[in-house]
Amino acid sequence: MADETYSGEFYCVKCKEKREAEGNVVVNDKGTRMAKAKCPVCGTNLNRILGKA
């Protein structure tokens, strides 16, 4: 499986704002696809659930 990336809006819980970021897509144990990125402003980890793989 090729490394998939997601670029779009993530919600930063630290900034309490939506941020544009690009991150890698990972699949967790339950088979849910999640995009993980870092906030470009504060550096906090961002997660976005994309749905089932």
CATH number at residue 41: 2.20.25
Closest CA to 2 of 30, 31, 27: 27
Range of the domain at 45: 5-52
Q: Is the pLDDT of residue 52 over 90?
A: no
Say how many domains are in the chain.
Answer: 1
CA distance 25 to 22: 10
pTM above 0.95, yes or no: no
Closest CA to 9 of 20, 22, 24, 25: 20
For 5-33, the pLDDT digits (tens) are 999 999 999 999 999 999 999 998 988 99
